[in-house]
A = this chain, B = another copy of it.
Amino acid sequence: MPKAALIDGLQYANWSEKIFQQMRQGGVDAVHVTITYHETFRETVANIEKWNRWFERYPDLIFQGHSAADIELAQKTGRTAIFFGSQNPSCIEDDIGLVQVLHQLGLRFMQLSYNNQSLLATGCYEDDDTGLTRMGRAVVAEMNRVGMVVDMSHSAQRSTLEAIEHSSRPIAITHANPHSWHPALRNKSDDVLRALGETGGMLGFSIYPHHLQNGPACTLASFCDMIARTADLMGPENIGIGTDLCQDQPDSVVEWMRVGRWTKSIDYGEGSATNPGFPPMPDWFQDNRHFGAIRQGLRASGLDDAAIDGVMGENWRRFFAHSFQPQP
C-alpha cells in the first residue's frame, strides 16, 4: 500500500532553497501556495515567472503540480508538488476569460474575495454582505467548468453559503478554523462548516496564530481536540491542514496583504496598532519539518489511523483528484 500523502492546503512563505529543503525534510508531498493577492493579471504572471525560475533552479526539490497524479509523482521522486492559488480575484481583473488562461498556467484555487468586497463576492471585513455578485455567479460557473477550486477562506458568511450553493463542484475553505473554538472574524460558523461538509467541500485547519485559541500560546492538544470535534461536525473526510504558514516574511508583506492598493491608510486586519506584524507561530509548528507533531497530537486526541491519514493529506488528495480537471 502506498504511503499516505502529506499535503498542506495553504502556505505563503518567503520562498527560498532553505524552505524547499525543509519541505523535503518534513516529507511534504504537496503544498497549495498563494502566488498572488492584489496583483493584476500581468503582475500575477510576473509571480508565475518567479516560480518558473524556482522550478528550474531546484528541480530535485520541487515541481509544479497540475493534477492529483502529481502527488504520486512527488512521492515517487522524493519532491514536493507546488499547486498555485490566488487569495483575491484581482488576477482575473474584470475579464472572465482569464479564469481559463490562469488555469492553463496552473492556478488551481482562487478566493472570490479577500476581506473586502470584490467584483465577485463580499469579504469578511465588510459591514454588509450582499452575497455573490452577477459576475461572481458567472465566474463560479467558469471555475467549475475549467477545474479551479472556489476558496472562501476570507469571504463573508452569506457569500460563502451562496458559493457553496451555487457551485456545481465542492468548494474549499483552505485556511480557517471553527468560530465556535475561537471567535475570530476569519473563523467559520458551524452553519458554514456543516454546509461545506454536506456538499463534499474541504476545510483546511489554519495554524496562523490569529485563528488559534490563545494565539501563539495555543496548545497542540487544544488544536487537535478542535480537529477531532470538527471531524464529528463535518465528517472526517472533509477536513485537512491549511497551515497558512508565512515563514520568513517581512512585516511589509502582511501590510500588502491587508492594504493592497485599496486604501492610503493603514488597516491592521487581524492585527492591531500594538501588534501590527506577523505573529509568532506556536512552538509546536514553526515550519515544514513539524507536521509529525500534528500527527502525534491527532493520535492523542483519539483519531484512528485512517482519520489521521485523511486529515494529514489523503482528504486533500481525493479533493484534488475530482477538482482540477475540466468538467466533462
Binding site for B on A (CB under 8 A): 41-42, 45-46, 48-49, 52-53, 95, 97-98, 100-101, 104-106
Contacts and interface: CB of A to CB of B under 8 A. Distances in A.
Given A41-B42, A42-B41, A42-B42, A49 B105 contact: no
A105 B98 CA distance: 12
A45 B98 CA distance: 8
B49 A100 contact: yes
Nearest to A49: B97
Given A104-B104, A105-B105, 18 more contacts: A41-B42, A41-B45, A42-B42, A45-B98, A45-B101, A46-B95, A46-B97, A48-B101, A49-B95, A49-B97, A49-B98, A49-B100, A52-B97, A52-B100, A52-B101, A53-B97, A104-B105, A104-B106
Contacts of A97: 46, 49, 52-53
A101 B46 CA distance: 9
Contacts of A49: 95, 97-98, 100-101
Nearest to A48: B101
**Copies held by the complex:** 2
A122 B104 CA distance: 32
A112 to B, nearest CB: 20
A49 B52 CA distance: 22
7 contacts: A41-B45, A42-B42, A45-B101, A46-B95, A49-B101, A104-B105, A105-B105
Nearest to A105: B104
Contacts of A42: 41-42
A41 B100 CA distance: 16
A70 to B, nearest CB: 15
Contacts of A48: 101
Contacts of A52: 97, 100-101
Nearest to A103: B52
A160 to B, nearest CB: 29
A49 B41 CA distance: 13
